[in-house]
Amino acid sequence: MLVLVAPGQGAQTPGFLTPWLELPGAADVLADWSDAIGLDLAHYGTKGDADEIRDTAVAQPLLVAAGLLSARALGETAPDVVAGHSVGEFTAAAVAGVLDETSALRLVRRRGLAMAEAAAVTETGMAALLGGEPEKVLPRLEELGLTAANVNGAGQLVAAGTAGQLAALAADKPEGVRRVVPLKVAGAFHTPHMAPAVEQLAAAAAETTPADPSTVYVSNKDGRSVASGAEVVQRLVGQVASPVRWDLCLETFQGLGVTALVELCPGGTLTGIAKRALPGVRTLALKTPDNLDEARALMREHTADGTAAADPTA
């Protein structure tokens, strides 16, 4: 059984889309998506510097577009399970057929703009905590007014809050925490700081007509699989201001009997977590098109029926 996962914000690096645009038809597809959302995805994915692609309004649609391009390039073998981390949930929803690609990107564009606007109200951010046990870390975060915005499993937790709160955390780390590493994001995502963005995204989502997932879709909210397209979209909206429980998604993968995991472009982060949290599960990150042949072989070997299915991103 194979799960296809999509990374979230912070996975982007300057120029990461360049090799993907050399694939047949990729540049034309990206141009169409760019026109649909009013953002030059090719420019940001190939020429944008680190500061430009850190901008929430740019990073989110760029990551979803990259994930969808790499999903298209994988071919016709459908995954058994899909999930995405934070904004990667929109990629997963499109792969599962809940939203068509253009609708997903339009929603993500609205999401990124709304979250950037919410983040501009107060100087906020996020930081990964390396080391430490939850029973020691969580009380300290609560004491400082911080939120455990990402509980990623394998001992990885991300705190979010104001710049002052994060500075206080770095200056006086919880017992067992070796380092507090700032993330390449522009706000305290998945916290109450993002509440204004929820309302805007809900209004945009009301204009969509979702379909039920064509494969098992696992939600960040609680790690539960969701069979209703309408509920998937409802959860996508609410997740903007609530914590990402990737640890619970990992537990669900394990319970389902997942034997392999492929991470869409720009892969690496979720694969690293899976290697620690899911011992014995084969993992592969799509970093460049050079990884595609191996990923296709892994998907043919580990999907439930071992046969090609209709492309869920078509």
Residues annotated as catalytic (active site), given as ranges: 86, 190
Q: What are the beta bridge partners of residue 126?
A: 160
Structure tokens at 17: 């889309």
Structure tokens at 93: 């929803």
**Helix (H), strand (E) at residue 151:** strand 147-153
Nearest to 83 by CA among 225, 259, 275, 208: 225
DSSP string for 184-230: S-SS-TTSGGGHHHHHHHHHHHTT------SSEEB-TTTS-B---HH
The dihedral through the CA atoms of 109, 313, 25, 15 has a sign that is positive
Structure tokens at 281: 């599960």
Structure tokens at 240: 């903007």
DSSP string for 87-109: THHHHHHHHTTSS-HHHHHHHHH
Q: In terms of residues, how long is the chain? A: 314
Look-up of token digits 């694939």:
23
Nearest to 295 by CA among 284, 309, 306: 284
